[in-house]
Amino acid sequence: MSSTAEPKKLTKKELKADHPTWCPACGDFAVLASFFNVVQKLGFDHEKVVCVAGIGCSSRFPYFVNTHGIHFIHGRALPLATGISLSRPDLHVFVFGGDGDGYSIGGNHLTHAARKNINLTYVVMDNFVYGLTKNQTSPTSPLGRKSKTDPRGAIDRPINPMAQLVSSGATFVARSHASQVKHMNEMFERAILHNGFSVVETLSECTMFYPGSFDDSIPRKGGEFNLVGEEHDKQDLAAAMELTGDLTPGKFGVYYETERDTKNELESAWVKDAQAAHAGLSGQDILRKSFSRMR
């Protein structure tokens, strides 16, 4: 193909890769289906989509999509995705992972990617458990839940992921549910179209180790799926924090959405300035000058 040819738009068939190896009825299947729906709808160019993940059942996501993809180190997907986003601003960068990957070992990276407002979309498939390693307590496991690491029930207070995400500096924070594909489609689409660090905390049931975990938010199981009210001011940080106060089952929708310069924009302006200051010099000369300044 000549380099000037128009890139081909994606179809769902082209986006699918290996058959997912998740357990039957695992919530992550629905997240994958929603991702296919939205990326196809937005008509991205195939070679412009990249999916990064750490380790966990949910983090196997890149294997199941036919895009650029990296199955990376547990908890380290965000720093890698940050580098990709900053160096290739033309790409649509997605990060997928679980509650353990994102809120436990990767918790620090999440804070920093959010405060820097890196332009990417992060989907946390929160099942309140470590699934891949077969049932250990995660940072979102409720108090008293028995697991391999807490045979007498969890004794450590769980984190409030929505409160952490809103306060971390993320500029788009939404909450969705794997049993509500239409809602997920809408949240993912809005997150992807947002310029900056967008994150969708998505409740995704681990049917193997924590069945019934989200019944309180599934109407056909007697729960309530309550949407964030129309009156909620998404740009109001205090109002967003107030929404995070009770997540049992809590509200679903966009908690917080604001505009702030991304690191991508700030860094690129800085690089342009620096290049202008060295106009006419070769890369080697610039390096030499910088090193001699440090002597």
CA atoms of 85 and 95, how far apart (whole Å): 11
Binding mask 173-192 for ligand TPP (x = CB under 6 A): --------------------
**CA distance readout (Å), 254 to 13, 127, 177:** 30, 20, 12
Residue 149 Cβ vs ligand TPP, minimum distance, rounded to whole Å: 10
Phi-psi sector, 257: left (phi>0), alpha (psi -120 to 50), beta: beta
Binding status of residue 218 toward ligand TPP by CB under 6 A: no
53 DSSP β-pair partners: 71, 96
26 sits near ligand SF4 (criterion: CB under 6 A): yes
CB of 286 to ligand TPP, least distance (A): 38
The dihedral over CA atoms of 139, 113, 132, 27, expressed in degrees to the nearest 10, equals 90
Query: Is position 206 an interface residue for ligand SF4 (rule: CB under 6 A)?
Result: yes
Q: What amino acid occupies position 98?
A: G
Angstrom distance (rounded) from CA 240 to CA 177 = 18
45 to 64, contacts with Mg ion by CB under 5 A? Answer: none
Q: How far apart are CA 138 and CA 134, in angstroms?
A: 11
Question: Which residue, 67 or 127, is less far from ligand SF4 as judged by CB?
Answer: 127
How many amino acids of this chain bind ligand SF4 (CB under 6 A)? 12
Burial 190-209 (b: 16+ CB within 10 A, else e): bbbebebbbbbbbbbbbbbb
- Letters for 140-159 (x = contact with ligand SF4 by CB under 6 A, - = none) are --------------------
Can you list the positions of beta strands (E) in 99-140? Answer: 120-126, 129-130, 136-137
Residue from 62, 100, 102, 131 touching ligand SF4 (CB under 6 A): that is 131
Q: Please, which of residues 75-104 interact with Mg ion by CB under 5 A?
A: 98-99
Identify the helix (H) or strand (E) that includes residue 36. Answer: helix 28-42
Nearer to ligand SF4, 184 or 192 (CB): 184
33 alpha-carbon distance from chain centroid? 16
Figure out which of the listed residues 62, 100, 158, 196 binds ligand TPP, where binding follows CB under 6 A. 100
Locate all alpha helices (DSSP H) within 169-282, ordered by sequence. Answer: 181-193, 237-243, 263-277
Residue 74 engages ligand TPP in binding (rule: CB under 6 A): yes
Q: With binding defined as CB under 5 A, does residue 127 bind Mg ion?
A: yes
- Of 180, 207, 244, 264, the residue at the interface with ligand SF4 (CB under 6 A) is 207
Q: How far is the CB of 145 from ligand TPP (least distance, A)?
A: 14
Nearer to Mg ion, 98 or 158 (CB): 98
Q: Interface with ligand SF4 by CB under 6 A: which residues? A: 22-23, 26, 28, 57, 127, 131-132, 206-209
Q: Interface with ligand TPP by CB under 6 A: which residues? A: 55-58, 74, 97-101, 125, 127, 129-133, 138
